[in-house]
Copies of this chain bind each other. A is one copy, B any other.
Amino acid sequence: MSDFSFKIIKKSKKSWARAGILETPHGIIHTPAFISVATQASVKSLSPEDLENLGAEVILSNTYHLYLRPGAEIVKKAGGLHKFMNWKGPMVTDSGGFQVFSLGWGRVHKIGKIGWFPGSEEFQEARLPEEARLQRPKFVKITEDGVEFTSHLDGSKHFFTPEKSIKIQEDLGADIIFAFDECTSPLAGYDYTKRSIKRTHDWAVRCLKAKKRKDQALFGIVQGGEYKDLRAESLKFITSLPFDGIGIGGSLGKTRKDMFKILKRMHSFLPEEKPRHLLGIGRSEDLENCVKLGMDLFDCVWPTRLARRGSLIVKSGRINIKNAKYIKDFQPIEKGCPCYACKNFTRAYISHLFRAKELLAYRLATIHNLYFTLKLMENIRNAI
């Protein structure tokens, strides 16, 4: 790709970490990078100007959500997603493959990608309620040809194929797009996962064939769940194809330990020269370890979602700003933090805004949590 290049500028001597520069038609991304999530063409509560002020270089939007609302043809008519939402920097769209999981087994089993239950702060072994084992996904039907989704907005049916996912992503016009895949659940068994990667691999080939635009980079996605041989098989297959980068998707086991083990095993199969995107991962406690395991790109709703609940990331961990003790705390969220929220407001005021359900609360909290995450990433990058 003429407008797209990836250069590794530094490699750690102590780990597999590498620092690089990813060039896209809308500017460069310094890797390793945290990608802020703009699910519905907006990083929740922030303006593009806020993101620029935070030093965010790149955002990720969701193909499935934008396909349903406002619709890809409207975004195309607007001149693409960059113009539609007035974001001038690099942009990524996912393929809809994650929704195969999140609206499918994820929803039935109330489970996340690494096996933790949403709402639980701690990782835990995924325990599947008996009644859920008997259920099958209601909103997703998977065939060899593609996936039928039932819209969470109005119950209408939509059939996604690899070709359709690429077409939508070409209409949206992000700099980096992804192959359509089946993201498997941490609860998927070996046999299911084996059949599933076959599908994902077929779809990968179809995506490469369907792609028409020359100004977008297409990343393939490795699946294979927690199974050593299936991950290896998927890695070998996906990296043999002419993708511009490698996404690591799907279940990464049932605990954080599992995730690190799986990434470790994968490393020797990863081609050096291609950027690696660890899909959907980006808690502050995971970033450094995953960078050391050779990852370049991360996206995650975690810091922004936490923020809207009043959970603010600080060096010592997290504070819940709605807690009574902060009502009279006239310090900033984190002393010395130069973000707009910390420079201008106290915990007492932000606590008040949350209690009063004032909209400014969500924006200030999001600014702080994203600043923390982006700064952490910058520090990790500089330490390589």
Taking Cβ atoms with an 8 Å cutoff, the residues of A that contact B are: 40-42, 44-49, 69-70, 74, 77-78, 84-86, 327-328, 330, 340, 344-346, 348-349, 351-353, 355-356, 358-360, 362-364
Q: Which of B45, B70, B345, B349 touches A348 (beta carbons < 8 Å)?
A: B70
Extra inter-chain contacts (11) besides given A49-B340, A359-B363, CB under 8 Å: A41-B349, A41-B352, A42-B359, A44-B360, A45-B359, A45-B360, A69-B355, A69-B356, A84-B348, A84-B349, A85-B349
Q: Which of B70, B77, B352 touches A355 (beta carbons < 8 Å)?
A: B70
Q: Are A360 and B330 in contact (CB under 8 A)?
A: no
Instruction: Say how many copies of this protein the assembly contains.
Output: 2
Contacts of A362 in B (CB 8 A): 359
A349 vs B80: C-alpha distance when bound (angstroms) = 12
Q: Are B352 and A69 in contact (CB under 8 A)?
A: yes
Given A327-B74, A352-B69, A355-B69, the answer on whether A360 and B84 have CB atoms closer than 8 Å is no
Given A69-B352, A349-B41, A352-B41, the answer on whether A78 and B330 have CB atoms closer than 8 Å is yes
A45 vs B361: C-alpha distance when bound (angstroms) = 9
A152 vs B70: C-alpha distance when bound (angstroms) = 38
Q: Using CB atoms, name the residue of chain B closest to A353.
A: B42
Q: Are A346 and B42 in contact (CB under 8 A)?
A: no
A78 vs B350: C-alpha distance when bound (angstroms) = 12
Contacts of A353 in B (CB 8 A): 42
Q: Which of B42, B340, B351 touches A360 (beta carbons < 8 Å)?
A: B42
A345 vs B48: C-alpha distance when bound (angstroms) = 10
Q: Are B345 and A86 in contact (CB under 8 A)?
A: yes
Q: Are B356 and A77 in contact (CB under 8 A)?
A: no
Contacts of A363 in B (CB 8 A): 47, 359, 363
* Minimum CB–CB distance for A66 against chain B, Å: 9
What 7 A-B pairs have minimum CB-CB distances, sorted nearest first?
A45-B359, A40-B356, A70-B352, A42-B358, A86-B344, A42-B360, A84-B349
Q: Which of B70, B74, B340, B348 touches A78 (beta carbons < 8 Å)?
A: B348
Contacts of A348 in B (CB 8 A): 70, 74, 78, 84
A349 vs B345: C-alpha distance when bound (angstroms) = 30
Q: Using CB atoms, name the residue of chain B closest to A356.
A: B40
Q: Which interface residue of A70, A340, A348 has the most chain B CB atoms within 10 A? A: A70
Q: Are B352 and A44 in contact (CB under 8 A)?
A: no
Contacts of A358 in B (CB 8 A): 40, 42, 44
Chain A to chain B contacts (Cβ below 8 Å), 13 pairs: A42-B353, A42-B358, A44-B358, A45-B360, A47-B344, A49-B340, A74-B328, A74-B352, A77-B328, A77-B330, A78-B330, A85-B345, A86-B344
Q: Are A344 and B48 in contact (CB under 8 A)?
A: yes
Q: Using CB atoms, name the residue of chain B closest to A330.
A: B78
Q: Are A78 and B346 in contact (CB under 8 A)?
A: yes
A86 vs B343: C-alpha distance when bound (angstroms) = 10
Contacts of A46 in B (CB 8 A): 360
Q: Using CB atoms, name the residue of chain B closest to A328.
A: B74
A48 vs B328: C-alpha distance when bound (angstroms) = 21
Q: Using CB atoms, name the residue of chain B closest to A47.
A: B360
Q: Are B360 and A327 in contact (CB under 8 A)?
A: no
* Minimum CB–CB distance for A125 against chain B, Å: 35
A359 vs B39: C-alpha distance when bound (angstroms) = 13
Q: Using CB atoms, name the residue of chain B closest to A359.
A: B45
A47 vs B328: C-alpha distance when bound (angstroms) = 21
* Minimum CB–CB distance for A51 against chain B, Å: 11
